Amino acid sequence: EEHKSSKILSDYAEKNGFNIERGVAGMPTAFIATYGSGRPRIGILGEFDANAGISQKAQSTKEALIEGAPGHGCGHNLFGTGSLGAAIAIKELIQKKELKGTIVFYGTPAEETIFGKVWFAREGLFNDLDLCMDWHPGDDVEAGTQSSKALIDFRVKYWGKAAHASADPWNGFSAVDGMELLTTGINYYREHIKPTARIHYQIEKAGDVVNVVPEKAQIWVRVRENDRESLNVLYERVKKMAAAAAMMAEVDYDIELISGIYEILPNRSGATLVQNNFEMLGPILYTDEETEYAKAIQRATGKPEVGMDGAIHALKETKPAQGGSTDVGDVSQLVPVVRLSTPAAPKDAPWHSWAVVACTGMSIGHKGMLKASNALGMTMVDLFENPQLIKEVKAEFKERKGNSKYVPMIPPG
């Protein structure tokens, strides 16, 4: 849970003159910090949730700070802090009347469980923005030109009838049989899905003892595709498999929707502004000690010992989504989102692991955060000062969005 992180960030924003709304969108750790009035109204996202069980000291060998405790294996300790720093810089300029408009910081919990920003979106909390800024720690300096995969999480539960597994199994109906038939169907289906699709599952319950025909079984399934429309086709097919599996095993079943998120709509107009500011700021420079630290992390995780990449590279071409998913996608379906990334860990370091936690808690991560905060602040100054730039960002958003309408995948309640 993220009560401490949420309180630290919201209290600091309040101390710096922001108006704070806590507990928004039905989440006790969610908050919105606002300063200023009128247009433009620019938002900035801040995440702060950690990953369970990967506590790590700020050192290049694996050793928990607190055994079994969470750790920031995705750099969200840097994310929320860097975003708030940029928001405060804009607030100072508005307060001095050097800029006109409103800055809105969104304290968004639960990104790792893929629903926090969906709840914000469902409540209409982004609808009044002109655009929104976003960043995420990574392993290089990059203006955000890429999309992400749309995703649906759901749970399938099977109920059968218990019986003695040896004395009278013919009187039982195995819930595990139903679940295994579903996984068999999924694995045969993999041959026929598009290369852009992904199906994952995790068995959560499969009976209790071996000598009882299992009465209950439960499996968590995740499907991904490059866009919502293609995702729905995949989802409906797997739901049919779940029903067919129940029929074959003669058991009952139920499907529980856990979460669902859209793909990111990239915005090259905004990315170009970010790129210009990255080039103005220049590369991140690392000390010999930091370089050796990064190489030690790479060595410990079996990666090439190339150290850090703080260079400013050319703006990348927009390509179909290659990897993960994020609830930032839902924000990008409502308003233009201008995104960037900076290095908080060595090249190819395994994320959601001790190796990244070891870097986000020391100078390597801090340098990446400060570069991101500076780039976010500079880009927002450009946008506040030049309404034409906002028009260009909005025009691209409108073109990419087309006639599609945003419908939250997580229903109310």
CATH number of 196's domain: 3.30.70.360
413 within a domain of the structure (yes/no): no
Q: Same domain for 224 and 313?
A: no
Instruction: Work out the average pLDDT over 43-58.
Output: 92
Helices and strands: H and E segment counts in the chain: 11, 11
- Tally the domains of the chain: 2
Q: Same domain for 134 and 280?
A: yes
175 within a domain of the structure (yes/no): yes
Model confidence at 112: pLDDT above 80: no
Q: Same domain for 135 and 158?
A: no
Please tell me the predicted confidence (pLDDT) of residue 1: 64
* Residue 25 dihedral angles phi and psi, to the nearest 5°: 55, 30
34 within a domain of the structure (yes/no): yes
Q: Same domain for 312 and 383?
A: yes
Question: Over the stretch 293-318, which tens digit does the pLDDT of each residue have?
Answer: 999 999 999 999 999 999 999 999 98
Place of tokens 């002109």: 130
Is residue 342 within 8 Å of residue 283, measured between CB atoms? Answer: no
409 within a domain of the structure (yes/no): no
Model confidence at 99: pLDDT above 70: yes
Instruction: Work out the average pLDDT over 312-334.
Output: 91
CA dist., res. 76 & res. 368, Å (int): 12
Instruction: Work out the average pLDDT over 199-205.
Output: 98
**pTM assigned to the model:** 0.93
Question: Over the stretch 117-172, which tens digit does the pLDDT of each residue have?
Answer: 999 999 999 999 999 999 999 999 999 999 999 999 999 999 999 999 999 999 99
Contacts of 90 (CB under 8 A, 6+ apart): 35, 42, 99, 103, 377, 380, 381, 384
CA dist., res. 240 & res. 246, Å (int): 10
Q: Which domain holds residue 231?
A: 150-261
410 within a domain of the structure (yes/no): no
* Residue 262 dihedral angles phi and psi, to the nearest 5°: -90, 165
Contacts of 212 (CB under 8 A, 6+ apart): 162, 163, 164, 165
Q: Same domain for 226 and 315?
A: no
Model confidence at 268: pLDDT above 70: yes
Q: Of 344, 345, 343, 348, which Cα lies nearest the Cα of 301? A: 348
Q: Same domain for 221 and 291?
A: no
CA dist., res. 258 & res. 256, Å (int): 6
In this structure, the number of other CB atoms found within 10 A of the CB of residue 82 comes to 30
65 within a domain of the structure (yes/no): yes
Q: Same domain for 275 and 366?
A: yes
Q: Same domain for 28 and 137?
A: yes
Please tell me the predicted confidence (pLDDT) of residue 413: 63
63 within a domain of the structure (yes/no): yes
Residue where one domain finishes, among candidates 244, 261, 278 = 261
CA dist., res. 100 & res. 119, Å (int): 29
Q: Same domain for 174 and 135?
A: no
Residue where one domain finishes, among candidates 203, 237, 261 = 261
Alpha helices in 148-265 (DSSP H): 175-189, 228-249
Q: Same domain for 224 and 360?
A: no
pLDDT band per the 50, 70, 90 thresholds, residue 410: confident
* Residue 131 dihedral angles phi and psi, to the nearest 5°: -165, 175
Please tell me the predicted confidence (pLDDT) of residue 322: 77
Residue where one domain finishes, among candidates 230, 261, 292 = 261
412 within a domain of the structure (yes/no): no
Local structure of 146: helix, strand or coil: coil
pLDDT band per the 50, 70, 90 thresholds, residue 323: confident
Q: Of 371, 403, 413, 265, which Cα lies nearest the Cα of 328? A: 265
Question: Over the stretch 370-391, which tens digit does the pLDDT of each residue have?
Answer: 999 999 999 999 999 999 999 9
Q: Amino acid identity of 285?
A: L
Task: Please provide the average confidence, as pLDDT, over all residues in the chain.
Answer: 95
Is 101 or 411 the better-scoring residue by pLDDT? 101
Model confidence at 81: pLDDT above 70: yes
Which CATH number do you get for residue 109?
3.40.630.10
pLDDT band per the 50, 70, 90 thresholds, residue 336: very high
Q: Same domain for 270 and 371?
A: yes
Q: Same domain for 239 and 360?
A: no
